[in-house]
């Protein structure tokens, strides 16, 4: 199980990026992505997505597709430089803290306007944060950022002041969409308002949402008043494809421009296709096994149907010793991944951690057998492992029906664990959210994309993230609640020294590893493809061999230039790197994957 992050790192404060002059697209520019253009030459960039939108409300959304949309439509206080993910200005042009680090003052830019013409001010930001502080439903998606806020005020339109209860390390990485007060103050119940009934939706980002149909599409138009410059395509469409092969077929036909999360076979086949470019970059996410530690709520209520044997550390450790990560990387990902170790992918070197040799749970089937024998899980007459209560070790694992990796790894797990005398039923569902939220699973394929600051993906394993009662929805990924983990999390959250904080984050990962509730199997590459006759240039993140979809900002779709216009206008942005693909170019994107806190329809839901 959570986007999104997740996911943020303490960074240097940088100067703002240079604004880009909008590119004028002439009537000869071709329509991209197969969308109707009425014959007027409008350019449409269509992205194939495999993930359902959980909500268009920034207060509720946690899936990657949804949070990606919000990055396009709302400004955050700060942004991440496309070149190297350093902190740069967003809605705020500058910020400073008091000597005791308990008061932060942000200067809000004067040239940001809501798409309905009103100026975006500090009052909008203060209202957004205060609403999250005072309404638990408004804190559903990003409440971890404001839990430590004491008071937020806007003394004037350009000044935002946040007073903290104690120091908070994420104050330059508050990944919270700022919404227009004059629109959202009319909302009654934040738990039910999905922001999907009236269009266009008012925002101040580079795009404006103009239409949405559940599991069909989301349409966006350029925000012509965006302070950094309007996007170059006339329309951006995220089109839903349940089947990955169908999305690839649409890419070949030119019906879409970009598809992410390609299988190795799809990537190989597309490398020789005309007018298609495959981008294979180190990814932001991890791919893991999660065990049910006994679903519970803050009030002590237990629920769900998790197998009790998984509460035994010896059983969890035995299962993980039987997993051959090398085979998963070589056979399932076919080399488009690296073996998993810690919770934070190696792309984020400051926080990357790996277990010591004596601590590592490596592939060792004999050790797995020994652990089970010593813990009293003996084989019966038919070779099945049985606990002292007489119950067989037969487990269920939640599998995302849209993710071929889950299905392939599931077959290997059935073989490996079967050799231990353990049964496994692979439940591949279109919607894994419901059984996961109810605790009705034993194991699950889990994955999150991690942002430059890892705070969010660490927070989802704290006791504070559990639901208040069994009937509520919490921010937890997997119902983990461990006192020692919580103590380390609390310390890193208030640590401003980068080196000290990095050490604490690594100790957090070590503790999570030792509890055995999570087992990171791989760090998949971002394997994606796009049409070079649709898109002439696009910004990758990071600049050196980075990914296009699921970035930490809005750079890819904001920067994308139609192929027919590749020779016109100015050349780029100081925050991005232009990937020039030739006189004709196209992008094909499939939004997908990151596992959300309670909403799971693909391999990963959060940023």
Q: Is the pLDDT of residue 268 over 80?
A: yes
Give exposure, 65-78, as e/b (b: 16+ Cβ within 10 Å).
Answer: bbbbbbbbbbbbbb
pLDDT value, residue 10: 28
Query: Which residue, among 89, 169, 173, has the nearest Cα to 498 in the 3D structure?
Result: 169
- What confidence tens digit (pLDDT) does each residue in 172-231 have? 999 999 999 999 999 999 999 999 999 999 999 999 999 999 999 999 999 999 999 999
CA distance 496 to 102: 12
pLDDT value, residue 46: 98
Q: Is the pLDDT of residue 591 over 70?
A: no
pLDDT value, residue 590: 33
Please report the beta strands in 458-549, taking only residues with DSSP state E, as ranges in sequence order: 518-524, 526-531, 535-540
- What confidence tens digit (pLDDT) does each residue in 434-461 have? 999 999 999 999 999 898 999 999 999 9
pLDDT value, residue 67: 93
CA distance 314 to 142: 35
**Any idea what DSSP says for residue 595?**
B
Q: Is the pLDDT of residue 171 over 60?
A: yes
**Any idea what DSSP says for residue 325?**
H
Please identify which residue in the block is written with the tokens 């609403």.
131
Q: Is the pLDDT of residue 286 over 80?
A: yes
pLDDT value, residue 40: 58
- What confidence tens digit (pLDDT) does each residue in 215-247 have? 999 999 999 999 999 999 999 999 999 899 999
Mean pLDDT (whole number) for 452-476:
92
pLDDT band per the 50, 70, 90 thresholds, residue 592: very low
pLDDT value, residue 565: 55
CA distance 142 to 71: 14
**Any idea what DSSP says for residue 296?**
B
- What confidence tens digit (pLDDT) does each residue in 551-579 have? 999 999 999 999 975 444 333 333 333 33
Phi, psi at residue 595, to the nearest 5°? -90, 125
pLDDT value, residue 433: 86
**Any idea what DSSP says for residue 202?**
P
pLDDT value, residue 62: 86
Q: What is the mean pLDDT of the chain?
A: 87
Mean pLDDT (whole number) for 105-124:
98
Region of 123 on the Ramachandran plot (φ > 0 left; ψ -120 to 50 alpha; else beta)? alpha
Query: Which residue, among 55, 193, 86, 185, has the nearest Cα to 127 in the 3D structure?
Result: 185
pLDDT band per the 50, 70, 90 thresholds, residue 607: very low
What percent of the chain is modeled with pLDDT above 90? 81
Asked if 576 and 429 touch (Cβ cutoff 8 Å), the reply is no
pLDDT value, residue 522: 98
The rounded radius of gyration (Å) of the Cα atoms in the chain is 24
pLDDT value, residue 598: 33
pLDDT band per the 50, 70, 90 thresholds, residue 596: very low
pLDDT value, residue 119: 98
Phi, psi at residue 93, to the nearest 5°? -90, -25
pLDDT value, residue 402: 84
- What confidence tens digit (pLDDT) does each residue in 67-92 have? 999 999 999 999 999 999 999 999 99
SS (H, E, C) 344-393: CCCCCCCCCCCCCCCCCCCCCHHHHHHHHHHCCCEECCCCCEECCCCCEC
- What confidence tens digit (pLDDT) does each residue in 293-344 have? 999 999 999 999 999 999 999 999 999 999 999 999 999 999 999 999 999 9
Asked if 29 and 584 touch (Cβ cutoff 8 Å), the reply is no
Asked if 33 and 534 touch (Cβ cutoff 8 Å), the reply is yes
Task: Please state whether beta strands 276-281 and 87-89 pair in parallel, antiparallel, or not at all (unpaired).
Answer: unpaired
Residue 279, CA distances (Å) to 27, 525, 548, 603 in order = 30, 10, 8, 20
**Any idea what DSSP says for residue 233?**
S
DSSP 324-344: -HHHIIIIISTTSEEE--SSS
Q: Is the pLDDT of residue 63 over 70?
A: yes
pLDDT band per the 50, 70, 90 thresholds, residue 543: confident
pLDDT band per the 50, 70, 90 thresholds, residue 360: very high
Q: Is the pLDDT of residue 127 over 90?
A: yes
What sections of 82-232 are H helices per DSSP?
122-134, 143-146, 181-184
Asked if 461 and 20 touch (Cβ cutoff 8 Å), the reply is no
What percent of the chain is modeled with pLDDT above 70? 86
pLDDT value, residue 193: 97
Query: Which residue, among 559, 545, 552, has the nearest Cα to 587 in the 3D structure?
Result: 559
Residue 407, CA distances (Å) to 253, 295, 427, 428 in order = 27, 25, 9, 7
CA distance 156 to 125: 12
pLDDT value, residue 601: 35
CA torsion, ordered 238, 241, 244, 246, to nearest 10 deg: -110
* Cα 455 → chain centroid: 13
Query: Which residue, among 386, 447, 45, 422, has the nearest Cα to 222 in the 3D structure?
Result: 45
Task: Please state whether beta strands 394-400 and 423-429 pair in parallel, antiparallel, or not at all (unpaired).
Answer: parallel
Cα atoms in the Cβ-side hemisphere of radius 13 Å centred on 593: 35
CA distance 398 to 425: 9
- What confidence tens digit (pLDDT) does each residue in 376-433 have? 999 999 999 999 899 999 999 999 998 899 999 999 999 999 999 999 999 999 889 8
The answer to whether the bond into 429 is cis (omega within 30° of 0) is no
Mean pLDDT (whole number) for 503-524:
97
Provide the token pair at 570.
Answer: 């100015």
């Amino acid at each position: 199980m959570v986007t999104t992050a997740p996911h943020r790192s303490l960074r240097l404060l940088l100067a703002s990026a240079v604004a880009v002059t909008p590119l004028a697209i002439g009537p000869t520019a071709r329509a991209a992505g197969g969308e109707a253009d009425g014959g007027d030459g409008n350019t449409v960039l269509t992205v194939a997505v495999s993930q359902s939108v959980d909500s268009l409300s920034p207060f509720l959304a946690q899936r990657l597709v949804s949070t990606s949309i919000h990055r396009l439509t709302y400004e955050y206080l700060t942004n991440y430089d496309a070149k190297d993910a350093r902190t740069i200005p967003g809605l705020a042009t500058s910020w400073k803290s008091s000597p005791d680090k308990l008061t932060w003052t942000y200067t809000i830019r004067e040239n940001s306007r809501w798409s309905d013409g009103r100026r975006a001010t500090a009052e909008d930001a203060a209202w957004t944060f205060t609403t999250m502080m005072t309404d638990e439903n408004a804190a559903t998606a990003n409440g971890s950022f404001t839990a430590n806020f004491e008071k937020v005020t806007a003394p004037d339109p350009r000044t935002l002041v946040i007073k903290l209860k104690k120091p908070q390390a994420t104050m330059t990485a508050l990944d919270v969409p700022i919404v227009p007060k004059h629109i959202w103050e009319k909302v009654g119940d934040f738990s039910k308002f999905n922001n999907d009934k009236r269009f266009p939706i008012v925002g101040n980002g580079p795009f404006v949402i103009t239409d949405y149909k559940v599991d069909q599409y989301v349409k966006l138009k350029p925000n012509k008043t965006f302070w950094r410059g309007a996007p170059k395509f006339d329309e951006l469409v995220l089109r839903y494809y349940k089947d990955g092969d169908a999305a690839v077929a649409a890419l070949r036909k030119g019906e879409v421009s970009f598809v992410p999360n390609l299988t190795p076979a799809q990537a190989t086949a597309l490398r020789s296709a005309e007018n298609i470019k495959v981008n294979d970059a180190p990814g932001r996410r991890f791919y893991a096994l999660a065990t049910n530690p006994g679903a519970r709520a803050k009030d002590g209520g237990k629920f769900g149907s998790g197998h009790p044997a998984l509460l035994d550390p010896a059983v969890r450790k035995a299962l993980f010793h039987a997993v051959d990560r090398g085979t998963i990387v070589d056979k399932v990902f076919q080399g488009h991944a690296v073996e998993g170790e810690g919770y934070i992918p190696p792309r984020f070197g400051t926080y990357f951690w790996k277990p010591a040799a004596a601590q590592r749970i490596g592939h060792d089937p004999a050790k797995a057998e020994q652990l089970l024998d010593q813990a009293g899980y003996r084989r019966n007459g038919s070779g099945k492992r049985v606990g002292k209560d007489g119950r067989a070790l037969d487990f269920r694992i939640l599998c995302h029906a849209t993710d071929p990796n889950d299905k392939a790894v599931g077959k290997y797990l059935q073989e490996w664990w079967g050799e231990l005398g353990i049964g496994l039923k692979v439940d591949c569902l279109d919607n894994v959210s419901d059984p996961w939220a109810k605790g009705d699973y034993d194991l699950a394929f889990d994955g999150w994309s991690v942002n430059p600051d890892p705070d969010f993906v660490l927070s989802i394993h704290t006791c504070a993230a559990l639901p208040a009662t069994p009937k509520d929805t919490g921010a937890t990924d997997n119902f983990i609640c461990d006192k020692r983990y919580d103590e380390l999390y609390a310390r890193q959250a208030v640590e401003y020294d980068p080196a000290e904080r990095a050490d604490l984050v690594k100790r957090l990962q070590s503790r999570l590893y030792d509890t055995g509730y999570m087992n990171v199997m791989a760090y998949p590459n971002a394997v994606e493809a796009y049409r070079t006759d649709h898109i002439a240039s696009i910004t990758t993140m990071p600049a050196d061999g980075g990914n296009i979809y699921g970035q930490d900002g809005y750079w890819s779709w904001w920067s994308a230039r139609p192929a027919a216009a590749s020779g016109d206008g100015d050349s780029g942005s100081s925050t991005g790197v232009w990937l020039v693909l030739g006189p004709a170019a196209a992008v094909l994107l499939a939004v997908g994957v990151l596992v959300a806190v309670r909403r799971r329809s693909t391999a990963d839901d959060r940023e």
